[in-house]
Every structure is written in structure tokens, then in C-alpha cells.
Amino acid sequence: MRFQGKSIVITGAGSGIGRATASAFAAEGGQVVAADRSDAVRATVEAITAAGGTALGVEMDAGNEDDVVRLVEVACTHFGGIDVFYANAGISGGASSVLDASVELWTDVLRVNLIGPALAIKHAAPRIVERGGGAILCTASVAGLRSGAGGAPYSASKAGVINLVQSAAQQLSGSNVRVNAICPGLIETGMTQRVYDYAREKGVEDKIGRLNPMRRGGRPEEIAQVALFLASDAASYVNGQALAVDGGLSSSHPVTRQEYGKPAV
């Protein structure tokens, strides 16, 4: 019960990593505000309350400042403040390259994946300071560490998240607010479901995640456990870091390279 009585806000909580993390925080006593732009967040709240936890749902757009302000106010009104904010919401943007991604796609991906966490830090940090300190987490990606793990807009947005948490950790010096990023590898979520469904349909599920030393994809619950650690007192001296949770993939990022002017192999 590491989070007994703590107020926890999680965006992108309607499915995948966000839902698993919301359930994990609630199971350890956290009072969870689960947010998502999809009404699937209701199912997350129902599952938490059915298990005896405390949660409420908010439908909002993580890349919209008015919505983020409203989310922060909901948490403060219902649970007296914020102790942990997990800016997890994100979109993939597909496998677009630098050469074919539209300005509209770049704008949408950056708005949700990078501006969203920036807004979370901007509006949640002062409230966490009021509680005497706490933690802010952001979902980045191994795609933000180097190329070969995502489309160009997505990868660039996640690289921005990594630098964002480093900058925020410095700018919050002395506040007792820690800011860290989690960099998941291939995890079975709504974002990657088509990959998993296709592999199962073709009978090649055993090939998923074969490029990492663990030889498998990850589960949302495995990311959730890392989030709980980073938000807890056990990580009291971890700040401004981007922790890869990828089965070892980012130790080399093996990838089939695409030659200029030729289709991907």
C-alpha cells in the first residue's frame, strides 16, 4: 500500500499501459483520476471500483491546455491535490517517414505526445509542490532513444519527451518534485494490437519481440510496475531519467535499414 491516500492522475488510462497502471496504483491504495479522450476510461474506473479501489474518470484531450487545467482541478477538488501525475497519453502517427509525413500529422503527434506532457508538468507541478513534493512520470519510448523503432513524427516526439523530463527536473530544482520518463519497447496495447493480431492470424506470434534479448514482447503490467517504482519513495533519488523497459532492445536497436529511394524490406 505504497500509495495509500495519495492522489494519482493518469492520462491515456482507457486502455493498455494507462489502464494497467491505473489499476496498479489503485491496488496499492492510490486515489486515481483516470483520464482519456475515449469513453473506454469508464471501463477502467469500473474495474478499479469493482476490485475495491478508488477512482473517477475524466474524458479529456491530453494535448488541450483547457482540458489539462480541468483535469488538475478535478483531482484537487475530489482528492485534495495531486501527488503523482503520469502523462501517459500518446498516439502513434503510423509508420510515416520524414519524406512523406504531412504537416498535419506532425502537428497532431507533437501536440498529443510532447505538448501533452509539457502541459501536464506545467499545471500539475505547482499542485504537487503544495503537497510537499511527489513525482511526475511521462511515457516516452525506445523510439525516442534512436532510430529504428517507430515512424519519424512519433520518434521525434518521444525524443522530445526525454529532453522535456531532463529540462523539467532541472527547472524544478529544490521543489521535491521528481520528473522521469519510461521508454517502453514493444508492448501489447491498442497502439500495437494490429501487429499482434496479424502475427496470431499467421501463426507467427513467437516472432514478436524476437529482436530483443528477452525474445518476446512486453505486457502493460510490466510497464505499470516500473511506473509504481518511479512514483514511490523507493525511487526517491531517481530524477531526470529516461528508463528503457524493452527486454534489452535498446542495447542495440537492431533494424533492417531502408535505402533511400527503395521500398522498405
Active site members: 154
- CA atoms of 25 and 59, how far apart (whole Å): 19
- CA atoms of 208 and 199, how far apart (whole Å): 7
Phi-psi region of 38 (alpha: psi -120 to 50; beta: other; left: phi over 0): beta
CB atoms < 10 A from the CB of 257, how many? 8
CB 50 within 8 A of CB 72: no
- CA atoms of 140 and 184, how far apart (whole Å): 7
- CA atoms of 26 and 32, how far apart (whole Å): 6
Retrieve residue 197's grid coordinates: 493480431
